[in-house]
Amino acid sequence: MELIRVSDVQKTYKTGTVALYDFNLSIKKGEFVFVIGASGSGKSTLIKMLYREEKPDKGSIIIGGINVAKLKNRKVYVLRRKLGVVFQDFKLLPKLTVYENVAFAMEVLGYDKRDIYKRVMEVLSLVGLKNKVRQFPDQLSGGEQQRVVIARAIVNKPKLLICDEPTGNLDPDTSMEIMKVLDEINAMGTTVIMATHDRDIVDKMKKRVILLDSGRLAKDIEKGSYCNERF
Amino acid sequence: MRGFRTVSRYFRDALHGVFRNFSLSLASILCITITLLVVAVSLILSSNVEHFSDSIRKDVTVVVFLKNDTTSEEVEKIKSELISIENIERSSIEFKSKTDSAQELKEGNDIFSATVDTWTDDTNPLLDSYMFKVKDIEKIDDTVKQVKELSLAKDKINNINYGEDIVHQLIIVFNTVEKVCVAAVIALILVTSFLIANTIKLAIYSRKREIEIMRLVGASNMSIKIPFVLEGLFIGILGSIVPILVTVFGYGSLFDFFNGKLFGSSLAMLVEPMPFVYEISSILIVIGIVVGMIGSYFAVRKHLKI
Ligand SMILES: Nc1ncnc2c1ncn2[C@@H]1O[C@H](COP(=O)(O)OP(=O)(O)O)[C@@H](O)[C@H]1O
Ligand SMILES: [Mg+2]
């Protein structure tokens, strides 16, 4: 079943840079998709349009029945509740503890305190941080901070998890641990899209790979790897 | 029930927000405190200036000189007619016979006193008179005209004196002073609102990430705005506490210190502290709350676009 359909999308920034051209893409429910390409090839632009941080100037993006390209500013939350987002730079609130950072995502949706506690502890043990709930972000390593972000992204049980270079600031071993967590989340049924330029990860995971080149979709390979691409 | 719980949670979260970002909140609170203090002082000053000008205006007296052949029945009749004129302050109507006036003249000046002593009832050149004050000084010309049109006026009123020239100048000066005061206070309130709104904008700017994350995890724009607007409410209340205390206790003791009047003059009476200080306080807290809430609203809204 199709979860995401991107049709004829074009994105031009105010500066005049065209970041994506005639872009078409279809992603099925439950898939794990890598988006790769050189720096500046448009990976982040594609990701941002999926969670409607940016709007395409042409074409349509349908996610789970919502036309993201036409979504009104005050309706964006409807889309955001269906997906989780993970960034390279974490975006944690420094004054909140690990627990509070994750719980924050449920609080703003108005969940009951008891439900929040149960679910937050559940996801924190899934990402292996059950013993760090009271720490503050600056008391954690980069890998641990990224797990908190992943926990926050999945705490509301989204159908889709979008990651932009989640291992960009991490060493190889930590990166692989993060990938294990993402793979587990994917195995539980969540569709995962991840932009990266980390070859090792892509090669090891043997997932679908979408290669961007200067804003165009250059290749779309099942069980692909980085090695056989030249750019 | 669920609705009530949501509302009370919004309030709790907002209070939480104020204290979680206390250094930022403190900046906004201090800004409100300082600017409201200035507003309080200017409100108190301009109210008192208005009060002075009011009491001076109220002191303007119209003197109606009666002809010598006016009988005592006619004097009474004139009084009853004066009472019926709307703009005349009833309680201020006072009859002064020419003998009283001569006595006053004698007591007031040594040089006159010898002259006055030579006067008898028949040679006394002064006239019986009525004196009164008006409620609205702007209408004083009309009121005097009404007096001149009384049934007995033609035969029994000699002339009417109320220092027209000075009164007219007084009206112009006080109208200008009042307008300047009102304009100054309004300008000050606008500047204050701008300063407060700007401080709040900066405070909220540094919480951009918090807003971004709220949006990212699916909070609706409305549910993001509400806690910030409520925080604005609390900051407005906290910021008006000191200015209100200063107004209530400061003005009260100032009033006592001056015994209620400046220069010991009964024309420069200060405004009675009650309920004046409470009126000023309500203005202060309303400014604090309204500007706090509106400032927060627009500051958050800026971060909710796209
Ligand atoms: N906010 C922006 N304003 C203007 N140009 C941008 C903006 N973001 C990205 N770009 C440009 O769009 C192109 C694609 O950028 P991006 O999607 O970030 O690539 P990637 O994530 O693959 O490195 C680049 O040329 C970049 O300079
Ligand atoms: Mg990027």
**Chain B contact probe: residue of A77, A82, A101 with most B CBs at under 10 A:** A77
Residues 6+ apart with CB under 8 A from B203: B21, B24, B25, B27, B28, B299
> Mean pLDDT, to the nearest integer, of A94-118?
92
Asked whether the beta carbons of A146 and A178 are under 8 A apart, the reply is: yes
Q: Where are the domains of chain B?
A: 2-56+169-304, 61-161
Given a cut of 60, is residue A230 above it in pLDDT? no
Q: B61-161 maps to which CATH number?
A: 3.30.70.3040
Q: Where are the domains of chain A?
A: 1-82+159-231, 92-157
If one compares A10 and B8, the residue with the highest pLDDT of the two is A10
CA distance B243 to B247: 6
Percent of chain A at pLDDT exceeding 90: 80
Among A20-29, B13-22, B49-58, B157-166, the range of highest mean pLDDT: A20-29
Provide the pLDDT for residue B306: 60
ipTM of the complex: 0.85
Given a cut of 70, is residue B2 above it in pLDDT? no
Given a cut of 50, is residue B179 above it in pLDDT? yes
- B219, A85: Cβ pair inside 8 Å? no
Ligand 1 binding pocket (C-beta < 6 A) is A 13, 15, 17, 19, 37, 39-45
Percent of chain B at pLDDT exceeding 90: 20
State which amino acid sits at residue A2: E
> Mean pLDDT, to the nearest integer, of A27-33?
96
If one compares A189 and B150, the residue with the highest pLDDT of the two is A189
Nearest CA to ligand 1 atom 27: A40
Asked whether the beta carbons of A164 and A47 are under 8 A apart, the reply is: yes
Given a cut of 70, is residue A202 above it in pLDDT? yes
Q: Which residues from chain B sit within 8 angstroms of residue A78, using beta carbons?
A: 218
Q: Which two tokens stand for residue B23?
A: 């250094």
Q: Which residues from chain A sit within 8 angstroms of residue B306, using beta carbons?
A: 53-55, 73
Q: Which two tokens stand for residue B298?
A: 């627009």
Provide the pLDDT for residue A91: 87
- A105, B306: Cβ pair inside 8 Å? no
Q: Which two tokens stand for residue A211?
A: 């290669």
> Mean pLDDT, to the nearest integer, of A32-46?
94
Which of A53, A54, A80 is nearest residue B218 as measured by Cβ atoms? A80
Among A17, A39, A212, which residue has the most ligand 1 atoms within 8 Å of its CB, making it the best to mutate?
Answer: A17
Q: Which of A2-16, B6-20, B175-189 has the lowest average pLDDT?
A: B6-20
CA of A213 to the centre of ligand 1 (A): 13
Nearest CA to ligand 1 atom 26: A40
CA distance A39 to A62: 26
**What is the overall mean pLDDT for chain A?**
92
The confidence band for A227, taking pLDDT boundaries of 50, 70 and 90, is low
CATH topology of domain A1-82+159-231: Rossmann fold (3.40.50)
CA of A17 to the centre of ligand 1 (A): 8
Nearest CA to ligand 1 atom 7: A13
Note the pLDDT tens digit of each residue in B191-240: 888 888 888 888 888 888 888 888 988 888 988 888 889 989 999 999 99
Q: Which two tokens stand for residue B223?
A: 């549910």
Q: Which residues from chain B sit within 8 angstroms of residue A163, using beta carbons?
A: none
A73: number of Cβ within 10 Å = 12
Q: Which residues from chain A sit within 8 angstroms of residue B224, using beta carbons?
A: 108
The confidence band for B1, taking pLDDT boundaries of 50, 70 and 90, is very low
Given a cut of 70, is residue A55 above it in pLDDT? yes
- Whose atoms come closest to the Cα of A37: which ligand? 1
If one compares A109 and B277, the residue with the highest pLDDT of the two is B277
Is the pTM above the cut of 0.80? Answer: no
- A53, B306: Cβ pair inside 8 Å? yes
State yes or no: cis peptide before B275, omega within 30 of 0: yes
Note the pLDDT tens digit of each residue in B4-36: 667 777 788 788 877 877 877 888 899 899 999
Asked whether the beta carbons of A222 and A216 are under 8 A apart, the reply is: no
Provide the pLDDT for residue A193: 97
- A73, B306: Cβ pair inside 8 Å? yes
Residues 6+ apart with CB under 8 A from A140: A98, A132, A148
Label the pairing between strands A2-12 and B129-133.
unpaired
> Mean pLDDT, to the nearest integer, of B24-49?
89
H or E segment and range at residue A6: strand A2-12
Q: In what order do the strands lie in the sheet with A208-213?
A: A83-87, A160-164, A191-195, A32-37, A208-213, A216-221
CA of A102 to the centre of ligand 1 (A): 29
Provide the pLDDT for residue B181: 83
Which of B217, B219, B305 is nearest residue A152 as measured by Cβ atoms? B217
Provide the pLDDT for residue B5: 60
CA of B215 to the centre of ligand 2 (A): 21
Given a cut of 80, is residue A14 above it in pLDDT? yes
